[in-house]
C-alpha cells in the first residue's frame, strides 16, 4: 500500500516539475513553409508565364518521351526542385539542339524558382 502512495507522489512531483520547467523552454519557432509550397503572394501571371514556358519548351518533348514528367499548373511547384536541378545544376534540360531557352526564359525560370522555397543546393 505504501509503495502505491510513493509511486503516486513521485508521479505528481514529476508532473509539477515538468510544468514548472516548461516555462523556461523557448516557444517553438514559427514553422517554415514546406518545400515546394510557394508563398501566398506569388504573382499569378508569373506562374502562368512560367507554365507557358514549360509547356512550349519542355512538354513538347516530355509528352512523347517522358509522359510521366509532363508539367501542369497543378504539378509545377511540386517539380520545382527537379526543374532547378535539371536546368541549372546538371544542365541536362532542355536536351538536344532543337529546343533552347533564351536568356530571358532562363531569367524568368530563375525568378519563379526563387519563389518556390527550395532548399539551398
The structural domains of the chain, with segments of one domain joined by +, span: 1-121
Per DSSP, the chain holds a count of helices (H) and strands (E) of 5, 0
**Rounded to whole angstroms, how far apart are CA atoms 20 and 12?**
12
| Radius of gyration, CA atoms only, the chain | 26
61-98 residue pLDDT tens: 999 998 999 999 999 999 999 999 999 999 999 998 89
pLDDT of res. 13: 74
Cis peptide before 34 (omega within 30 of 0): no
- More confident call, 23 vs 4: 4
**Rounded to whole angstroms, how far apart are CA atoms 24 and 30?**
18
pLDDT of res. 40: 53
> 46: pLDDT confidence band, cut at 50, 70 and 90?
very high
pTM of the predicted structure, to 2 decimals? 0.63
**Rounded to whole angstroms, how far apart are CA atoms 39 and 116?**
7
Amino acid at each position: 500500500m505504501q509503495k502505491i502512495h510513493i509511486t503516486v507522489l513521485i508521479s505528481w512531483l514529476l508532473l509539477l516539475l515538468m510544468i514548472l520547467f516548461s516555462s523556461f523552454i523557448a516557444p517553438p519557432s514559427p514553422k517554415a513553409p514546406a518545400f515546394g509550397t510557394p508563398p501566398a503572394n506569388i504573382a499569378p501571371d508569373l506562374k502562368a508565364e512560367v507554365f507557358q514556358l514549360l509547356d512550349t519548351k519542355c512538354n513538347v518533348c516530355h509528352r512523347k518521351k517522358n509522359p510521366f514528367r509532363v508539367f501542369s499548373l497543378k504539378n509545377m511547384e511540386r517539380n520545382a526542385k527537379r526543374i532547378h536541378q535539371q536546368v541549372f545544376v546538371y544542365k541536362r534540360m532542355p536536351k538536344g539542339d532543337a529546343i533552347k531557352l533564351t536568356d530571358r526564359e532562363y531569367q524568368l525560370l530563375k525568378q519563379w524558382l526563387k519563389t518556390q522555397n527550395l532548399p539551398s543546393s
